[in-house]
Structure 1
Amino acid sequence: MGSKARDTAHFARAIGYWYDAKGHKANAAEVVPVTVETRRSIPRNRRFRLHYAYATSAHAWLPQYVKEREDVLASNLYFIGGGNMAEAIITAVRKHDDRYPVDHIYVEDISEARLSYLEKTYQVTPATPRDTPDNVDIAVIAVRPQDDVTGVATSIVNRFDQRTTSVVSIVAGYTIAQLERTLGGERRITRIIPNTLTTVDYGYSGVSSNQAAADAPDSVRKGLDAWLSTFGKPLHVEERLIDVITGFYPPNLVYHFIDAYVDAGVLAGLPRDISKAIALDTVIGGTELLKQRDVLPQVLLNINNSPGGVGITEAYTLNKTGFAAAIQSAVLAAVERTTKLGKEAQ
Structure 2
Amino acid sequence: MKANPTIAIIGSGVMAEAMIAGILRQKVTTADQICAADIRDERVNELHDLYGIKPFTDNLRAIEGADVVILSVKPQRIESVYTALKGKIPTGAVVLSIVAGASISAVSNGLLHPAVIRAMPNTPAQIGEGITVWVASPAVRQDQIDLARSILTALGQEVFADEEEYLDMATALSGTGPAYVFLFMEAMIDAGVHLGFPRRISEQLVAQTLRGSVDFFLGAKAHPAHLRNQVTSPGGTSAEALYYLEKAGFRTAISRAVWAAYEKSKALGKGKNSEAPEK
**Amino acid across the alignment from 1:172:** A
Contact 2:89 2:111 in 1 (8 A): no
CA distance in 2, matches of 1:262, 1:331: 23
Give the match's secondary structure for 1:204. strand
Q: Pick from 101, 112, 128 the counterpart of residue 41 of structure 2.
A: 112
Aligned equivalent of 1:23: none
**Amino acid across the alignment from 2:107:** L
Counterparts of 1:87-236 in structure 2, within 5 Å, are 87-97=17-27, 100-102=28-30, 103-127=32-56, 128-131=58-61, 134-147=64-77, 149-162=78-91, 164-184=92-112, 187-213=114-140, 216=141, 218-236=142-160
More strand by share: 1
Give the match's secondary structure for 1:211. coil
* Deviation of the 1:94 alpha carbon: 2.0
CA distance in 2, matches of 1:132, 1:112: 13
Deviates further, 307-316 or 110-119: 110-119
Alpha carbons of structure 1 residues 176 and 72: separation in structure 2 relative to 1, 3 Å: closer
Contact 1:206 1:242 in 2 (8 A): yes
Contact 2:65 2:90 in 1 (8 A): no
Runs of 4+ deviating beyond 4 Å: none
The reply on whether 1:312 has 2:239 as its aligned counterpart is yes
CA distance in 2, matches of 1:133, 1:335: 32
Give the match's secondary structure for 1:106. strand
CA distance in 2, matches of 1:202, 1:279: 19
The reply on whether 1:73 has 2:6 as its aligned counterpart is no
CA distance in 2, matches of 1:101, 1:112: 24
Aligned equivalent of 2:277: none
CA distance in 1, matches of 2:62, 2:260: 40
Contact 1:132 1:159 in 2 (8 A): no
Runs of 5+ consecutive residues of structure 2 not aligned to the other structure:
274-279
Aligned equivalent of 1:287: 214
Contact 2:60 2:85 in 1 (8 A): no
* Deviation of the 1:158 alpha carbon: 4.2
CA distance in 2, matches of 1:143, 1:72: 26
Aligned equivalent of 1:245: 170
Higher Rg: 1
Cα distance per residue 1:81-135 (max 9 Å; x no partner): 11122112112112211xx123421111111221222122222211113416653
More helix by share: 2
Give the match's secondary structure for 1:171. coil
**Amino acid across the alignment from 1:324:** R
**Amino acid across the alignment from 2:205:** I
* Deviation of the 1:220 alpha carbon: 3.0
Give the match's secondary structure for 2:211. helix
CA distance in 1, matches of 2:64, 2:248: 59
CA distance in 1, matches of 2:80, 2:244: 52
CA RMSD after TM alignment: 1.9
Contact 1:140 1:167 in 2 (8 A): yes
Alpha carbons of structure 1 residues 112 and 248: separation in structure 2 relative to 1, 3 Å: same
Aligned equivalent of 1:342: 269
Runs of 5+ consecutive residues of structure 1 not aligned to the other structure:
1-70
Provide TM-score, normalisation by structure 2: 0.89
Contact 1:145 1:345 in 2 (8 A): no
Provide TM-score, normalisation by structure 1: 0.73
Deviates further, 327-336 or 263-272: 327-336
Cα distance per residue 1:45-98 (max 9 Å; x no partner): xxxxxxxxxxxxxxxxxxxxxxxxxx961011111111122112112112211x
> How many residues were matched structurally?
268
Give the match's secondary structure for 2:106. helix
CA distance in 2, matches of 1:276, 1:158: 51
